A and B are shown apart, each in its own frame.
Chain A
Amino acid sequence: MYRYDEFDHSLVKERVEQFRGQVARRLDGDITEDEFKPIRLMNGLYLQLHAYMLRVAVPYGTLSSKQLRKLADIARKYDRGYGHFTTRQNLQYNWPALKDVPAILDELASVEMHCIQTSGNCIRNVTSDQYAGAAKDEVEDPRIISEVIRQWSTFHPEFSFLPRKFKIAVSGTEADRAAIKVHDIGIQIVTNDKGEVGYQVYVGGGLGRTPMIGKKIGDFVPKADLLAYLEAVMRVYNMNGRRDNLYKSRIKILVHEIGAEEMQRQVEEEFAEIRKTGALNLPQDEIDRIKAYFADPAFEDLSDDAAELDAAIAADKGFAHWVKNNTAAHKKPGYAIVNISLKPIGGTPGDCSADQMDAVAALAEKYSFDELRVTHEQNLTLAHVRKADLKAVYDALKAADLATANVNLITDQIACPGLDYCNLANARSIPIAQEISNRFADIERQHDIGELKINTSGCINACGHHHVGHIGILGVDKKGVEYYQVTLGGSADENTAIGDILGPAFTEQEIPDAIEKIVKIYLDTRQDGERFIDTYRRVGIQPFKENVYEAH
């Protein structure tokens, strides 16, 4: 795993010390809130409804066991015993006191963590595939260039005052688990017909008020040129991006206004300029140095058949469900990828108690080479577990209430904090997810329904990715009452789509029934082997419109 180099370490230490002084001066009244607010935001500290909120960066979602234990520690010592994993693969604490934040940052720094690049108009924490280094068909571990980008963009003087925040995601497999087409820049690692590794570059994707799917402007950017190419994109954005209007300041608006072709032309022009100087050429030895951090762990040579696993599956139905839904194929024979659902029936999506964090850290240490991943769907992943250990891992997860066997099923929902915590919310998100979860709790029924992703956001900022849920739910405020608008047909994978609005919004009480009707229409209409999204793409929104609103 990547470790801080000296440079990072002293920088972060310096920032913590600086912030400690700033907090002290704020509490003493030497600086005003107007002066302090941008400073605290730069350090990941927001004000929510009940308290402050601290957002901790988890670069490309990878954590060591030691880091997760530290997060658990902090949750116990300074917060209320839990944390919330987000769609940006980060962790949020919901209750820290301002006076404690310098101490929390110190503790984070002791395990090489921080809250930098979690806020403000900079290049945010790069996100990636939770199966990195483990997926079968991976061209290259996406964390290598994620880390290259992280180093290049952290504190880059030209990029700390962008028109707006900027989000980059990377996928190393054709199957996209990182939602790269709804990011400002999405990078798909590919090979050309000579077998060389390079990058497809998508720009201008995003959710929020104006959802857009990224447009491909780079077909094959050679490896050594990636930073030069990204710098070219950033320069075009910096020059042309709108700073006059908050709602129009993201790169997606620029790409939409000038068109993908013109964007491509301008980027190519800048790219040619930057290449002339050669300054941003990525030296191979630097890539190799970073690559070494993400080298395969010491896998054993195992056979892929696991008789004891088959026996355990036959003997324990709960375990069988869990293996079916929560594990995925690994590139090495005899290994599996384990997904840990943070979506217990009726629970809060993404919440994890300190004790659960400790339990997962122990499992990662013992069974998965001491590291784990946070997924943008608000779950956790142990990337490299021996098949022979699956039962032991399952038993331990079960003891920690972490063995819900619902990954990718209807109760594996994304939900933002919404009006239960968030200062910007119009409506609550979590209770909606909980009611749906309770309604569809039956695991046999969930299996019958199959893959179905429901995403809920409490306002148009779309932190809960509602636009790209197969079923999306958006909370709106109508004269002080919470209403929920439903979209259908969204998708965040390699076939990214923005959902279509079904019709008039529902009340909180109506939502579970509306979802039930939508599911029933799908079940009645589906053909063999069709998932919800396949059926939707075949029949469109009409049958849903017609049936969901018909009088009872």
Chain B
Amino acid sequence: MAQHTRKGAKEQALTANRLIDGVVVYLTADGKLSESLQDAEVAEGKEAAEALLTRATPFVDANEIIEPYLFAVELEDGRIRAVSVRETIRQAGPTVRLDLGKQAELADVHG
């Protein structure tokens, strides 16, 4: 599998899939789940990232999400970008079906 995040990644966000329909979600600063990467809380540094990961546990226990993990992001003009191709595709949808997935449903995905 392609790497989610690299050692020493400075900024990370938390993602998972929603149990009921598999849709990609992100953990937000106000403790909710959002379908948009732009709503994600960005953790800077190792400790903040670990805290972010811990905050996913209640959602797992409540059977709302599955397979939570951290991944590398960067901030660009105040917007959040996934660093890897994999996470870019997860926050947008298949690059071969631009009519499907978040890229067709949300305003703020990036290519």
Contact = CB atoms under 8 A, between A and B. Distances in A.
Interface string A410-429: 00000000011101111110
A96 B23 CA distance: 10
A52 interface: yes
A426 B1 contact: yes
A98 B94 CA distance: 20
Contact of B21 (A80, A98, A427): A98
A51 B96 contact: no
A26 B18 CA distance: 13
A49 B89 contact: yes
A480 B83 contact: yes
Contacts of A95: 100
Contacts of A47: 17, 22, 66-67
Interface residues of A, number: 35
A49 B6 CA distance: 19
Nearest to B60: A33
B68 to A, nearest CB: 11
A424 B62 contact: no
B34 interface: no
Interface in B54-68: 60, 62-63, 66-67
Given A29-B63, A420-B89, A477-B2, A431 B95 contact: yes
A208 to B, nearest CB: 15
A390 interface: no
A412 to B, nearest CB: 18
A105 interface: no
The main secondary structure of chain A at its interface with chain B is loop
B39 to A, nearest CB: 17
B95 to A, nearest CB: 6
Given A47-B67, A428-B85, A98 B19 contact: yes
Given A49-B89, A51-B23, A99-B21, A428 B84 contact: no
B20 A419 contact: no
A146 interface: no
A236 interface: no
A97 interface: yes
Contacts of A306: none
Max chain A C-beta neighbours (<10 A), residue from B2, B21, B67, B100: B2
Interface in A50-81: 50-52, 80
Contact of B95 (A27, A96, A420, A459): A420
B23 A50 contact: yes
Contact of A50 (B2, B3, B90): B90
Interface string A383-423: 00000000000000000000000000000000000011101
B43 to A, nearest CB: 19
B101 to A, nearest CB: 5
A425 B22 contact: no
Contacts of B84: 480
A50 B24 CA distance: 6
A50 B21 CA distance: 9
Contacts of A455: none
Max chain B C-beta neighbours (<10 A), residue from A419, A428, A434, A477: A419
A477 B89 CA distance: 15
B86 interface: yes
Given A27-B19, A50-B22, A424 B1 contact: yes
Contacts of B85: 419, 427-428, 480-482
Interface in A468-499: 477, 480-482
Interface in B1-56: 1-3, 6, 17, 19-24
Contact of B2 (A27, A419, A434): A419
A454 interface: no
Contacts of A28: 63
A311 to B, nearest CB: 40
Given A51-B23, A52-B22, A80 B100 contact: yes
- Return the 4 tightest CB-CB contacts between A and B, nearest first: A97-B21, A51-B22, A420-B94, A29-B63
Given A419-B85, A423-B1, 18 more contacts: A26-B19, A33-B67, A48-B22, A49-B86, A49-B90, A50-B23, A50-B24, A50-B93, A51-B17, A51-B21, A51-B22, A80-B100, A420-B96, A428-B95, A459-B1, A480-B2, A480-B6, A480-B84
15 contacts: A26-B19, A33-B66, A49-B89, A50-B94, A51-B17, A52-B22, A98-B20, A419-B2, A420-B97, A423-B1, A424-B1, A425-B1, A427-B2, A428-B85, A431-B96
Interface of B: 1-3, 6, 17, 19-24, 60, 62-63, 66-67, 83-86, 89-90, 93-97, 100-101
